[in-house]
Amino acid sequence: MGINLSNFLASKSQKRKMGQYQDLDHLDGLSVSSASANLYNSNRDDLAMFYFRDGANFASVYTQSKILSENIKWNLSQKTQKIFSLIINTRNANSFTGEQGYRSMQHLADFVSKKLTEKQKEDEDEPKIIKSKNIIFGCTGTIGEKFPEEKIKSKIPDLVRDIKYTQNKYIWIKAASAIMTTDTEPKIAMEECKIGNTSVKIYGIAKGSGMIKPNMATTLGYIFTDADISNDVLKKLLKKNIENTFNAISCDGDTSTNDMISIFSTGKAKNSFIKNIGDKKIKSFDESLNKVLLNLAKRVVADGEGASKFITINVLNSKTENDAKKIGFSIANSPLVKTAIAGEDPNWGRIIMAIGKANVDINLSKLSIKFGELIIINKGKVYTQYNETEAENYMKSFAININVDIGNGKKNFTVYTMDLTKEYININTDYRS
């Protein structure tokens, strides 16, 4: 069966070419497939399966919304040490679907585990019995619509049949494309590092374009590594590195019911097993994991619904990191700031407004603001050499850096966001069509 990249090759995805993506290749212990269940009434891929033939250690971080999708409820209820498959569908969030939505997870898990157990018997010398509790789900799309269990179930045999035991960049892009909703491009990232003397890979995919706001950011993100790391250490590493990556982005200030970031460890690199977070051998892995997460998080922001600008807000020299975070998100989530930047208007007064409403004590005599390297406010006063024309020219850039120096401490925090354009309104008034 040929690789269907129709989602990637669609007109809305043309701004990127295949060669611009990192060269993700094979990751031992992982198999991938994707298919169309016609959830969009088109032939685009809308289902992805990740299969771990020997099981994988794993950890997940989920939405902080008080209303959880049924797939997240299912995932949280599965008390298991190993995951054998992750199934992701797009178009339907399986949220606010109640008993029907949860039963669908049970039915699909039962069916997937049966089919993968059959696959084990066909392919493995020592086949394993895969159980329903070894299956978890990611769902994304419209909230409140009946979950299309039968459509998805009908494609499970195809997903199992078409499992690719080896991967290349095209297969990774195909899988990342299968989980997109309003995204205009697939999001993939990779790093390679060492644990001790053993080389390991860290690969990741994500989707996210709208309804993006911590904690966590509204997205689906999946990290895969061939490193051998315990569930406990994976959990601690993920929670730590989420804070300055997916918990440092905001597109529109809205948090979903379906947020999910997971990491899976196949152990096939055969490094010395990591079971203690204090093990010094994981320093490089820790740093590389952060790079993958940040890469994916930035891609989510850059592909925000209707985005024409990528905005980095550096809040510097704050009394506490929490104060810096409050100020950063107050600026990032301000419609007035975002629309000014969309209009390429250096209206720094809106940034002053956003700082003021953050409920953080500010000593104006110490406050400084820069657009890139252009000084706007210096020690609480408009910079004597401030040039409006230079600021206007700077705003024409795609990447906008806003640097806010509070001047009352040593703590910093960086927030990533996008502008607010008419296209955002167009996309979200036409979301379900």
Is 417 a known active-site residue?
A: no
Cβ neighbors of 431 (< 8 A, separation 6 or more) are: 142, 182
For strands 374-378 and 187-195, give the pairing: unpaired
- Spatial separation of the C-alpha atoms in residues 417 and 217, rounded to whole Å: 11
| Alpha helices for 312-421 (secondary structure H) | 321-332, 335-342, 348-356, 388-394
Catalytic residue, chosen from 181, 218, 225, 257, is: 218
Q: And the tokens for 385?
A: 């050499």
- Spatial separation of the C-alpha atoms in residues 400 and 420, rounded to whole Å: 14
In 3-state terms, the chain is what percent helix, strand and coil (to 5)? 35, 25, 40
Instruction: Compute φ and ψ for 229, nearest 5 degrees.
Output: -135, 140
Q: How far is CA 191 from CA 29, 59, 246, 279, 289, in A?
A: 17, 19, 17, 20, 8
Q: And the tokens for 411?
A: 């703590």
Task: Dump strand ranges (E) for 216-303.
Answer: 220-225, 249-250, 260-265
Q: How far is CA 197 from CA 271, 281, 284, in A?
A: 8, 9, 11
Q: And the tokens for 231?
A: 């569930």
Q: How far is CA 220 from CA 264, 339, 347, 361, 381, in A?
A: 14, 27, 34, 35, 43
Active site residues: 218
